Amino acid sequence: MAKNLYIDQKLESPTMRDLLAKRRSTDPSDKQAINEVMGNLIYEIVMQAKFLASVTFSKELAYDIDGTRALAPDSEITFTMLNNTNGEHYFPVFSENAEMDKWENAKIEHTIYVNFDNLAVMIENNKDCGGFVINPFSDNMTVSRDIVSKWFEKKQVLQNGHAQHIITPDSQYEFHTLNPYPMQLSNKLCEEAKQLTVNAMWLRGVTLNGDNGYLLVVDFDGERASVFGQLGNSAKQFLAGKSLHIVDVKENFGKLAVENIIPIYSKE
């Protein structure tokens, strides 16, 4: 996040402004209308929007050659958090400066731009964070960590063909046999594996945190990101909207998933 922070720069977002206004004015009982508005709003949040976040820096700002403010080497960023009535911590973000100005009596030292991916990674890495809230002093649109995780995973599947999902000890999962069996998906993965440094692969069904998808366990050599990325891209057209989770057989989760299971591919 060190590059293109847009430190203390103004932000205007007419698209977010209009979508949030439609959210406020739409009758919640009109399911078709509210679903359309929320669908457009979620797409903007996840795929396009930038937000302002209030931050402090551990070192004085430096300056780029063009005179814009920049993060000093080794400087750490601390984000301002808000607590709800249950004591949960949330990242407050603002769609534009006019919304941040509604934060009365706030001591805002600096601001930076963040996007959905930034927020998703920070929330995933902070078990005490409940999520983020957009314009907490007007729209107060709260997005919980569970929803963030689902949106982030769907975005990865849409863009990359697979999700680099982090399996934690708190993850709720259940393995199952695929029925009907996705033969086209399996064949495509095996074709791709022949071109890669893959030694063996297993394909299973998995329900992970309530989401029913595919689990591909891989025994491979070489660079993880490259191997997983190419496998995921090859599978993209055969997922039919489901998530594809790819894990290393050397990880405990991978070992557990393939115990006594025959691989779909073994290197000759």
pLDDT, the chain, mean? 88
Token pair, residue 159, equals 């863009």
220-230: per-residue pLDDT in tens? Answer: 998 888 899 89
121-175: per-residue pLDDT in tens? Answer: 888 878 789 999 999 999 999 999 889 988 887 787 676 666 655 555 566 788 9
Question: What is the torsional sign of CA 149, 87, 85, 104?
Answer: negative
Q: pTM score, two decimals?
A: 0.66
CA 166 to chain centre: 11
In the predicted structure, residue 2 carries a pLDDT above the cut 50: no
In this prediction, residue 161 carries a pLDDT of: 61
pLDDT band with cut points at 50, 70 and 90 for residue 69: confident
Please name the helix (run of DSSP H) or strand (run of DSSP E) that holds residue 25, with its range, or none.
helix 14-25
Average pLDDT over residues 102-119: 91
The DSSP bridge pattern shows strands 211-220 and 244-248 to be parallel
Average pLDDT over residues 240-262: 89
Cβ neighbours around 252 below 10 Å, total: 10
